[in-house]
A and B are shown apart, each in its own frame.
Chain A
Amino acid sequence: MTSQIAILVVLSLGQPPIPTRPQPQFAVVRSFDKALGQATLLQIQAVSEVVPEKAIVNGQEVTRNVIRQVLRTVETQFSVEKGTVLDTAGKKVSAAEVSKRLKVGATVLVASQQPDPLYLRIVQPETLILITSPMPVPLPKLPPPKV
């Protein structure tokens, strides 16, 4: 068992590191109510949409549906009191400190869990990372499932 672990460690030594946690998303603070501790965040997100596309199959032009990514502006609410805010070192930032640092127009990062440190290596140290509940990803309208 120990030798197997040792072999795995030796094999992984030459490999570049692979992030195991999700990457953060960028958001801009649209408004911030300090009294309520409520921030409105704006994000530009890629959403999947089914679009018809022409393709050549066996020499004939056919129209088939494919899923493409389209951009949408998504607005979300974040409660400083209820939510968790981290710094780039993964340390929790207090609600009072967040109220001081969060400014309208500022760029922040949002994630559903602590982002992988590999991604945060290139993030400015004073950046706030807002941990939000995972945003439901709207699925495109697909053909009705068959029984």
Chain B
Amino acid sequence: MANQTIALLALFSLGLAPERPPRNPPMPKGPQPEFVTIQAIDPAQKRIEYLHADAVIVPITVAVFENGRQVTKTAYRQEQRVSKRAIVLEKEAVYDTAGKKVSAQEALKRLKVGDTVLVATQPVDPLYLRVIRPGTLILVSSTPPPPIPIPAPFPKDKRGEPPPKRLP
């Protein structure tokens, strides 16, 4: 009888105990995927074109005061540029949100122009995919993005000054 009461009390208290947050919540191990929209599909070449937002560093001229004189200098600013990128499905991998590999044929059947998909450089950590609808395809391209060349400062004109392009 006493054992049953203890067991009942234990069960009851389990239901009433406040939910404790995990001490060390799991953290994603890899880079996050990016959202892209498909712009064109070439079924013959199994090639998908999509729009990608790249961070580019652009030189700008800024007017600053030095020793009481206004001088023009070159500075750098990061901007978002949208560029078209392509992926050949046969050369790269396609996964679903469960982490299962999808064949190039199957991916071509499922993808349509205008669709939103995820792109990544390696298989995506499931922690990210918890908020993605099932059925979404993840295009994994192992080709690293090309390095961004360092932008050159503006060339000076005959007067020794950069062109008069100012910050908006």
Does B147 have its Cβ within 8 Å of any Cβ on chain A?
A: yes
Does A146 have its Cβ within 8 Å of any Cβ on chain B?
A: yes
Contact B131 A108 (CB under 8 A): yes
Most buried by B among A44, A53, A68, A73: A44
A interface footprint on B1-44 (CB within 8 Å = 1, 0 otherwise): 00000000000000000000110011110111111011110000
Cβ-neighbour of A28 out of B25, B51, B149 (below 8 A): B25
Contact A105 B55 (CB under 8 A): no
Interface size, B (range): 35 or more
With a cutoff of 8 Å between Cβ atoms, the chain B residues found around residue A108 in the complex are 131
Cβ-neighbour of B149 out of A26, A66, A146 (below 8 A): A66
Smallest CB separation, B54 vs chain A (Å): 10
The interface stretch among A3-11, A78-86, A89-97, A121-129 is A121-129
B interface residues (Cβ-Cβ under 8 A, vs A): 21-22, 25-28, 30-35, 37-40, 51, 53, 55, 57, 59, 71-78, 80, 82, 113-114, 116-118, 127-128, 130-133, 136, 145, 147-151, 153
Does A130 have its Cβ within 8 Å of any Cβ on chain B?
A: no
Does A71 have its Cβ within 8 Å of any Cβ on chain B?
A: yes
With a cutoff of 8 Å between Cβ atoms, the chain B residues found around residue A137 in the complex are 55, 78
Cβ-neighbour of A104 out of B22, B71, B72, B133 (below 8 A): B22
A interface residues (Cβ-Cβ under 8 A, vs B): 16-19, 22-26, 28-32, 42-44, 46, 48, 50, 53, 65-69, 71, 73, 103-105, 107-109, 118-119, 121-124, 127, 137, 139-140, 142-143, 145-147
Cβ-neighbour of A119 out of B77, B116, B127 (below 8 A): B116
Contact A28 B28 (CB under 8 A): yes
Cβ-neighbour of B57 out of A22, A25, A26, A139 (below 8 A): A139
The docked-state distance in angstroms from the alpha carbon of A24 to that of B33 is: 10
Contact B57 A67 (CB under 8 A): yes
Contact B57 A71 (CB under 8 A): no
The docked-state distance in angstroms from the alpha carbon of A32 to that of B22 is: 11
Most buried by A among B33, B35, B37, B71: B35
Smallest CB separation, B62 vs chain A (Å): 9
With a cutoff of 8 Å between Cβ atoms, the chain A residues found around residue B116 in the complex are 118-119, 121-122
| Chain B residue at minimal CB-CB distance from A128 | B131
With a cutoff of 8 Å between Cβ atoms, the chain B residues found around residue A17 in the complex are 37, 114
| Chain B residue at minimal CB-CB distance from A104 | B21
Cβ-neighbour of A147 out of B73, B148, B151 (below 8 A): B73
With a cutoff of 8 Å between Cβ atoms, the chain A residues found around residue B130 in the complex are 107, 124
Most buried by A among B21, B22, B77: B21
Contact A18 B51 (CB under 8 A): yes
25 sample A-B contacts, Cβ–Cβ < 8 Å, listed by A number? A16-B114, A22-B53, A24-B35, A26-B28, A26-B32, A26-B131, A28-B27, A46-B31, A50-B150, A66-B147, A67-B149, A67-B150, A71-B31, A103-B21, A104-B22, A107-B127, A108-B131, A119-B116, A122-B117, A122-B118, A124-B133, A127-B131, A139-B76, A140-B57, A143-B150
